[in-house]
Amino acid sequence: MMTTLLILGGLVLLAGGGEVLVRGAVGAARAVGVSPLLSGLVLVGFGTSTPELVTSLLAALRDSPGIAVGNVLGSNIANILLILGVTAAISPVMIRPSVIRRDMIALGLSSVLLLAAVIAGFVDFYFGLVLILALMGYIGLAYVRERNRAGEAGAVKARDWTGFGKNLLLTVAGIALTVFGARLLVDGAVELAEGLGVSETVIGLTVVAVGTSLPELVACVVAAMRRHSEVAVGNVIGSNVYNALGILGVTAMVSPIRIPPEVIRLDIWVLLGATALLAVFLRTGGGLKRLEGAAFLAAYAAYVGFLATGGV
């Protein structure tokens, strides 16, 4: 009975929190004259990565580098293949290539830095600092260019700081609801899986891994259904950039991380391939159609299936 209540409670909080989160993020963007895309990148993308941040920090402090690094790589892979796949399958995600070019470049560069960290086999305080500075530079550049673009279009308007404050609180409340809802759902699902005799490996690869990405999933689905594709795409790009630069950077500055050698055999290449495929779809098709979303889901299922059956 308790397991059922945990799962149902988690689903309710996720659905309600996702709606509140998207409403707050879009409202905050309008109040200060920036695009929903930038709002998705910063408020939604970074905010919904809170579970990953907490998980990696705790893992590093407990000397579990595999969890800390695997959390970043696994979440980024799930964000692209699973979350955008589900979102596109429900409602096609359409966005102009010119709007997303800058942010896809940032996503590509953050993935290259992640590859460099994996090849080096170690992320220390100074490498972590470089990652954090790169993240801060990206956020600053994104904001300045958004404001300049609005100025060139004659769209600069007086900033409604009162409205921004209210919508920011709404956004924070939405993030809190989705994170707490994800926690309840994961706890309930783990109890259910253990009760059914499912192995810890399968639980970790499915329930726990996907559970930390549930806030992103809910935010993307709600955004797409409300025809805010910029928020959905910005959420995934922002979350992946934040995971690679922010989470890994902060974690390494708190406690240096050893990169597990097995990561370079498969996971990093899956992430780079998924990122490249996303760039191709957004560049050539102006977004993700249902068929492309289904292809992403099939690729993610194959990846998880390979790991679950004792792959690399």
Q: What is the pLDDT of residue 128?
A: 94
Among left, alpha and beta (phi > 0; psi -120 to 50; other), residue 63 is left
Query: Mean pLDDT for the chain?
Result: 82
Average confidence (pLDDT) over 76-99: 88
CA distances from 291 to 71, 76, 171, 216, 268 (A): 28, 21, 32, 21, 25
Does the pLDDT value for residue 183 go beyond 80?
Answer: no
b/e map 3-18, b = 16+ CB within 10 Å: beebbebbbebbbbbb
Q: Which residue has the higher pLDDT, 47 or 152?
A: 47
Q: Which residue has the higher pLDDT, 153 or 74?
A: 74
Q: Rounded to an integer, what distance in angstroms lies between the CA atom of residue 172 and that of residue 154?
A: 31
Q: What is the pLDDT of residue 41?
A: 74
| Confidence grade of residue 155 (pLDDT, cut at 50, 70, 90) | low
Average confidence (pLDDT) over 159-187: 84
Q: Rounded to an integer, what distance in angstroms lies between the CA atom of residue 312 and that of residue 55?
A: 23
Does the pLDDT value for residue 149 go beyond 80?
Answer: no
* Lookup: tokens for 71: 């959390």
Does the pLDDT value for residue 200 go beyond 50?
Answer: no
pTM here? 0.80
Does the pLDDT value for residue 60 go beyond 70?
Answer: yes
Spatial contact of 13 and 188, defined as CB atoms under 8 Å apart = no
Which letter does DSSP use for residue 235 in this model?
A: H
Q: What is the pLDDT of residue 209?
A: 65
CA contacts within 13 A on the Cβ side of 312: 12
Backbone angles phi, psi at 35, to 5 degrees: -75, 155
Give the SS3 label for residue 308. Answer: helix
| Confidence grade of residue 202 (pLDDT, cut at 50, 70, 90) | low
* Lookup: tokens for 174: 């939405």
Give the SS3 label for residue 195. Answer: helix
Helices 2-32 and 214-225, packing angle to 10 deg: 60
Give the SS3 label for residue 196. Answer: coil
Backbone angles phi, psi at 257, to 5 degrees: -115, 130
Instruction: Give the pLDDT confidence of 249-277 residue by residue, as tens digits.
Output: 998 998 888 888 878 888 899 999 999 99
Q: What is the pLDDT of residue 276?
A: 95
Spatial contact of 120 and 144, defined as CB atoms under 8 Å apart = no
Backbone angles phi, psi at 146, to 5 degrees: -65, -45
| Confidence grade of residue 19 (pLDDT, cut at 50, 70, 90) | confident
* Lookup: tokens for 246: 């922010």
* Lookup: tokens for 19: 């709606």
| Confidence grade of residue 16 (pLDDT, cut at 50, 70, 90) | confident
Q: What is the pLDDT of residue 269?
A: 95
Average confidence (pLDDT) over 136-140: 89
Q: Which residue has the higher pLDDT, 176 or 133?
A: 133
Range scoring the smallest mean pLDDT among 49-53, 146-150, 298-302: 146-150
Average confidence (pLDDT) over 41-69: 74
